[in-house]
Structure 1
Amino acid sequence: MKRQFIFLKYVSFNMLSMIGLSCYILADTLFIANGVGSMGLAALNLIIPLYNVITGIGLLIGVGSATHFSILKVQNKAKEASLYFSIAMKLALMISIPIAVMGFLFAENIMHFMGANQEIIPIASAYLKAYIIFTPFFILQQIVVAFIRNDNNPRLASIAMLLGTLFNIVFDYILVFPCQLGMVGAALATGFSPIITLLICGLHILWKQNYFHYLPCQINKNKVYQIISVGIPSFITELSGGIIVFVFNMVILSIGGNIAVASYGIISNLALVVTSLYTGIAQGVQPLLSQSHGQKNTSLMSAYLRYSLMTSFIVSMLVYSCIMLFPQRIISIFNSENNFMMMNIAIQGLPLYFFGFFFAGINMIFVSYFASVQKFKPSFFISLLRGGLIVIPLVMILSILFSLTGVWLSFPISECLITLICLFLYRKKERA
């Protein structure tokens, strides 16, 4: 019973914090859909892959360094554990500041590359300029939250994320409607949210609950390699969402134009929230798997994996039931213009696309499992498959054969194939 309670504690808090993170963009989607309209929605959907890149970099450094911290903490190696925190913070600033500067200076060029046409580029680049300057805070947020979660305080990590999200929702409304700032207002509200989260996370250090400390150090190439080795699957998992959205945007734009992209914007933003539930399970169980691995407790590792897969299936059932029972109500929240074409496309795509999450949840958990027990090759391989190696060829082929229906079906088919590969790799590991 104790292990179930510990699992629920870590996973539930982390699911809440990841929902909070995903709601940054969802809140923007909701207020932009109602305050700017379908063109604003299409513009935002073209920006989502960039959001995935920034979040992915944060996860690469955060999950990679915090996993090593967790293992060393169990082994009572305090100084070496803290070195991973120090290196992670330095890496974050070295990477994020150039991204913020280049993104601001070349916003129009970036949006043109992302597929925006002349109608959308002005509003899309305005959002990007306001959003991208906060890149350092988004990446630092991922790192600090990961360390606090691995430092036996998942509750504070979740509260910090949720309060950041609450700030985003409130100020999204204020800046988009009363202040009439439109896309820029939504971006500013989103950008200030991680600052709120970081300030609340500071309580962990203020209350002297932290096992980790910042130590003056040089960037150690070996430790950077170790961080990347563990964090790369999480990076690819997050990046895969952006790659899929980017490719789908290009294909859908060629089939149905801006309105079809706006319809996909509804589906992809809802998918972002649902994905966060599985990310919450995968990242929530990660400290428990890492600690069990550090203690060489294989039976406990198997139990935590089993609980994760069961939780994933329950979440999938609940989500899909809502999708099947209330598709029109869900989509109408984002359709203030009552655009009949946008509604029809989204209603057709929602149940087909979301069936894929029955398999996607399993795949994300196996990525986390293999990384947590330091089996980097299978973790990297699965992440690579989810990063577009299967779904991109599928969407190209199926869109030619079945138009938009083929686009929606490509996601569940690819995730199903990857699940079969995950099960094969797991059985192979167990037999070794």
Structure 2
Amino acid sequence: MDERSRMLADEKIGKLLFKLSLPATIGMLVQAFYNLVDTVFVGRAYGTESIQAIGGIAVAFPIQMIGMAVSLAIGIGGASIISRRLGEREQKKADKIFANLIFLSLFSSLLITGVGLLYIVPLLKMFGATDTILPYALEYMGVILSGTVLFSLAMVTNAVARAEGNAKVAMKSMMMSGGLNVILDPLFIFGFGMGIKGAAIATVLAQAIGVIYIAHYFLSGKSTLNLYPADLRPDSKIIKEVLEIGVSPFARNVSGSFMVIILNNLLAFYGGDIAIAVFGIINKLLMFTFMPMIGIVQGLQPIVGFNYGAKNFERVRESVKLAIIITTGMSIAGFLLLYLFPEQLFGIFSGDHQLIVEGKYAVRIVVLATPLVGFQVVGGALYQALGKARPSLFLSMCRQVLFLIPLVLILPKYLELFGVWAAFPLADTLAFAVTLFMVIREFKLLAEKGENMIIDPVEGNLPALGN
């Protein structure tokens, strides 16, 4: 057993989760920060046209989410399998899975780029771009689509690095790209006078540096995994298993994009460009709030996957419980920040008084159930790490498809714009209730499996499982 495997199998859960989650959390915070910075610089660069420019990024973002959804499906699905194969001491299988993930990343991202650029105008209009917002969205999205392959490779390889227990590499890659983006943004937006297009160019160039760094890590032999050219040949069995597990985050992000189609069109009808811009900013703020939680579950996944593969079910339960406590604390902190300081936060993006007033009103409604989100994030990640595709898919679809989309369609008919904002806390509350029920049931199953694994050391060859 190598050093990383011993760490996942034996190290104290609190210390292990901290060690794996801290780099991922820092990396996700950096990513969220540079997403915020993009919008802040663009808003400040356009002055009186800031509402339309921010709206351009807002309607472009759900198209980016579709690309992210595919990459997350590949990365999270593959990472879950790799961590379990490493737990089962199946090194060759893990190597082959890794190579297939690279193939899937390249193939899917090039396909998305081609289709996206071909249909960019109708896509942006479908996602709610008004005539005044469309020119800004076109400038931004044209460049972003061209860099899809870089975003995809970064997400997939970072997930794999975390799966083998080397979260620091993923963190450094994300920090490089995020930090460089923050530096390049003002240079391209203001220095070169490129405006919103400059923000997109800065993002793509920064992502390229992160990809170069993590590619060097895998190709230099520092990774537990090996990349063999022969393994790049697609294996239908591996691809099927990856996509079965990855369908959960894919469904969550695609349903989120579908929801934004409905939402932006409703916002345009009930509130115009300013409502779309408000939602765009709220999305960025919520992302900054949720990203640290994603970092926790990224650190959690290899622990759960490895120990589930090694049949150490008590460690699985202990790590999930700790992650729930941490993410719930983060959820509460995020809620307090957004609820108590909305004017100050919106003021960072734009000096437009009406935008700030509308934003303050909307965000205080949207975040009412945010303290419940941390539990939902861990609940969904649990099933992904265990390789249970169906319940993971159900939880991923639960909030967006079962609750949020119907509520967004129904409530505005009676409550107009308020109904759009009120749909969010109602959907979060209902999704929390469903997740709670399913996680309690899963914990009982894990406890039963743990009891069945306890064999007398004198008569059997398995010791009683402990921490």
Question: Is 1:423 paired with 2:433?
Answer: no
Gap runs ≥5 in structure 2: 1-10, 446-467
223-232 vs 372-381, greater mean Cα deviation? 372-381
Which of 248, 254, 269 is matched with 1:239 structurally?
A: 254
Q: Closer, same or farther in 2 for the Cα pair 1:131/1:110, shift >3 Å? A: same
Distance in 2 of aligned mates of 1:429 and 1:327: 38
Aligned-residue offset at 1:205: 3.0
Residues matched between the structures, number: 430
Where 2:191 maps in the other structure, the secondary structure is: coil
Q: CA deviation at 1:282?
A: 1.9
Amino acid at match of 2:328: F
Provide the residue aligned with 1:4 in structure 2.
14
* Other-structure match for 2:26: 16
Work out whether residues 21 and 295 of structure 2, in 8 Å CA contact, stay in contact via their aligned partners in 1. yes
Matches of 2:252 and 2:297, distance apart in 1: 11
Paired-residue identity, %? 24
Verify the 8 A CA contact 1:236 1:387 in the aligned structure 2.
no
- Alpha carbons of 1:428 and 1:151: their partners in 2 closer, same or farther (altered >3 Å)? closer
1:65 touches 1:88 (CA, 8 Å); kept in 2? Answer: yes
Q: Deviations over 1:122-177 (max 9, x none)?
A: 22111111110000111111111011112221112112101100111111110001
Answer whether contact 2:399 2:430 (CA < 8 A) is retained: no
Shift of 1:195: 1.1
1:331·1:346 contact (CA, 8 Å) conserved in 2? yes
Partner residue of 1:158? 171
| C-alpha deviation, 1:386, in angstroms | 2.6
Q: 1:76 aligns with which of 76, 89, 108?
A: 89
Q: Aligned partners of 2:417 and 2:119: how far apart in 1?
A: 32
1:66 is the counterpart of 2:79: yes
Q: Does 1:411 align with 2:424?
A: yes
Q: Separation in 2 of the partners of 1:256 and 1:290?
A: 46
Task: Tell me whether 1:193 sits opposite 2:203 in the alignment.
Answer: no
Gap regions ≥5 residues in structure 1: none
Q: What does the per-residue CA deviation read over 1:310-369, in whole Å, with 9 as the maximum and x for residues that have no partner? A: 01111012112212332211110011xx32221111001112212232222211211110
> What amino acid is the match of 2:239?
V
Within the candidate set 407, 414, 439, 1:401 is matched to 414
Deviation of 1:228 after TM superposition, in Å, equals 0.8
**Partner in structure 1 of residue 374 of structure 2:** 361
Q: Which residue of 1 aligns with 2:103?
A: 90
Q: Deviations over 1:245-281 (max 9, x none)?
A: 3322111111010011111111111112222222222
Please tell me whether the aligned partners of residues 11 and 285 of structure 1 are also in contact (alpha carbons under 8 angstroms): yes
Match of 2:355 in 1: 342
Distance 1:25 1:241, change over 3 A: farther
Q: In structure 2, the residue corresponding to 1:177 is in which secondary structure?
A: helix
CA contact (8 A) 1:332 1:343 kept: yes
Q: Which residue of 2 aligns with 1:110?
A: 123
Tell me which residue corresponds to 2:269: 254
**What is the CA–CA distance in structure 1 between the aligned matches of 2:30 and 2:80, rounded to whole Å?**
22
Q: Matched residues in 1 for 2:381 and 2:165: separation?
A: 18
Partner of 2:405: 392
Shift of 1:107: 2.1
Cα distance in 1 between the residues matched to 2:188 and 2:179:
14
Q: 1:27 to 1:47 in 2, by over 3 A?
A: same
Contact 1:53 1:242 in 2 (8 A): yes
Report the Cα distance in structure 2 between the residues aligned to 1:229 and 1:261, rounded to whole angstroms: 34
- Matching of residue 300 in structure 1 with residue 310 in structure 2: no
- Most deviating of 48-57 and 213-222: 213-222
TM-score by length of 1: 0.95
2: CA distance, partners of 1:409 / 1:171: 38
Q: How far does residue 203 in structure 1 lie from its aligned partner after superposition? A: 4.2
> Does the 8 Å contact 1:72/1:80 carry over to 2?
yes
Q: Which has the larger radius of gyration?
A: 2
How far apart are the structure 2 equivalents of 1:231 and 1:294? Answer: 18
* Consecutive aligned runs of 4 or more in structure 1 exceeding 4 Å deviation: none
Corresponding residue for 1:281? 296
1:383 partnered with 2:381: no
1:184 equivalent to 2:197? Answer yes
- Which of 136, 142, 148 in structure 2 is aligned with 1:123? 136
Residues 176 and 209 of structure 2 are in contact (CA less than 8 Å); yes or no, is this contact kept in structure 1? yes
Distance 1:155 1:95 in 2: 27
Q: Alignment partner of 1:390: what SS?
A: helix
Partners of 2:108 and 2:242 lie apart in 1 by 15
Backbone CA RMSD of aligned residues: 1.7
Aligned to 2:64: 51
SS of structure 2 residue aligned to 1:8: helix
